[in-house]
Amino acid sequence: TQLLEQSPQFLSIQEGENLTVYCNSSSVFSSLQWYRQEPGEGPVLLVTVVTGGEVKKLKRLTFQFGDARKDSSLHITAAQPGDTGLYLCAGATSGGSYIPTFGRGTSLIVHP
Amino acid sequence: ETGVTQTPRHLVMGMTNKKSLKCEQHLGHNAMYWYKQSAKKPLELMFVYNFKEQTENNSVPSRFSPECPNSSHLFLHLHTLQPEDSALYLCASSNGGNTEAFFGQGTRLTVV
């Protein structure tokens, strides 16, 4: 079973559109990370959220951690072709090990 | 540049060959990881080392043999691999107690 479920699995949009991707679990997380991975490269850390209800912004990207710390969302405003990539969420459950466990990711393509 | 360097970037090997993947981190982290990323599959954790000691072996076949001579270096020795072992092999590091992982660029392995 996958600890972290990400949706949608694939997303293909036009430049300028907005989008939201989701990361859900039945478990409570002590912290959750979002990464972006470009083809043939390793994932790059974007943000960490720790507090339930926390919202963090990174330019056009807005990250939210659910109040119960079981889910998170990533919203991109006015997507650009440079946003294309695989978006991965990862985390560790409360009281568990600190080994990062990853979801399957959302593959985003932004067409010019 | 994430501070984690993997070599080689690409590797093609026959099923009878022996090769090694190398990972080096300059971040002062005490935990290092090997992940396997295959097409259409989530990142699969293979091995975890904390302070040079292996703390996790995620049921990986013995044809994959890790080595961690010190906290900054991690190797993955490969021998008698199968074509289904072709994948992107990613190394990552983190501080113990923190799930923020920093990845290398990966080694694209093709077994022929």
Q: Which helix (H) or strand (E) holds B73?
A: strand B73-79
Q: Is the pLDDT of residue B1 over 80?
A: no
Q: Is the pLDDT of residue B99 over 80?
A: no
DSSP type of residue A27? S
A-chain residues within 8 Å CB-CB of B33? 99-100
CB contact under 8 Å between A33 and B33, yes or no, is: no
Minimum Cα–Cα distance from A31: chain B residue: B99
Q: Is the pLDDT of residue A66 over 90?
A: yes
Share of chain A above pLDDT 90, in %: 78
DSSP type of residue B61? -
| Long-range contacts of residues A57-64, Cβ cutoff 8 Å, at least 24 apart | A63/A34
Q: Testing the interface with A: which of B56, B93, B99 to mutate, by most A Cβ within 10 A?
A: B99
The DSSP line for A56-100 is EEETTEEEEE-TTSSEEEEEESS--GGG-EEEEEEEEETTS----
| Average pLDDT value for residue range B13-40 | 93
Q: Is the pLDDT of residue B32 over 50?
A: yes
| Average pLDDT value for residue range A2-14 | 91
**Per-residue pLDDT at A1:** 46
pLDDT digits (tens, 9 = 90+) for A17-43: 999 999 999 888 888 999 999 988 999
Dist CA B2 CA A43 (whole Å)? 10
Band (pLDDT 50/70/90 cuts) for residue A3 is confident
Q: Is the pLDDT of residue A2 over 60?
A: no
Share of chain B above pLDDT 70, in %: 96
Candidates B41, B88, B98; nearest CB to A98: B98
In sign, the C-alpha dihedral spanning B77, B78, B84, B89 is positive
pLDDT digits (tens, 9 = 90+) for B52-95: 777 777 789 999 999 999 989 999 999 999 999 999 999 999 98
